[in-house]
A and B are shown apart, each in its own frame.
Chain A
């Protein structure tokens, strides 16, 4: 079945540090991959996505590359800010199911300290 395995947190970094959150997936078909972010007190928001192998999604300084050979979609940011503190979820949508429901990882809580 479809599943997402995500690096567990929590992760605490100093401002301007480099961030990597690992995500690997298992899918029966050829999935689209997503990173969602949940800021404190807010709903889930799409951060970035990639729909085919070697695609790079990017937004707000965050990047992730769809690696089919390693079934991975790791999230990176070169210099984090305090405002990046949130919970990050890796997710996939398996196009073979005929629906676009999402399979989520367990989430990684990031705290950035000044």
Chain B
């Protein structure tokens, strides 16, 4: 049973460019959340998708957008990259939206913006 998978593993972009990160949830899960983890910090919630809709959003600008597909996989898009977007981007999946449900995390995508 595959866990949460993310691609790519690493990515290097320059300021002003756009990037797309991808996530496949754990088998049987229907909810996907994205987090940004800056070096030495805890993960910060970006947004959550359920039934192909954005259900909750953290304090991130509109440059951050996402999508969930019918097979529950998800993409995170970041436009107009700037240096401060350099971070580890984590995808997590769960079954439904209940607060006590465990979220399973993927290994992350390391984004470096030069």
Query: Smallest CB-CB separation from A97: which chain B residue?
Result: B56
CA distance A36 to B102 in the complex (A): 10
A114 at the interface (CB under 8 A from B): no
Mostly, the B contact residues are: loop
Query: With A43-B90, A43-B108, A45-B105 in contact, is A100–B42 under 8 Å at CB?
Result: no
Task: Give the interface centre of B44, B58, B99, B107 by most chain A CB atoms within 10 Å.
Answer: B99
Contact A102 B41 (CB under 8 A): no
Report the count of interface residues on A (CB-CB < 8 A): 28
Inter-chain contacts of A100 with B (CB < 8 A):
31, 33, 48, 94, 96-101, 103
Question: Size range of the interface on B?
Answer: 20 to 34
Nearest Cβ in chain B — how far from A77, in angstroms?
Answer: 20
CA distance A8 to B79 in the complex (A): 33
CA distance A6 to B21 in the complex (A): 30
Nearest Cβ in chain B — how far from A110, in angstroms?
Answer: 15
Query: A residues 4-51 with Cβ under 8 Å of B?
Result: 4, 6, 31-32, 36, 42-46, 49, 51
B contacts, CB < 8 Å to A: 4, 31, 33, 35, 40-45, 48, 50, 55-56, 58, 90, 92, 94, 96-108
A contacts, CB < 8 Å to B: 4, 6, 31-32, 36, 42-46, 49, 51, 89, 91, 93-95, 97-107
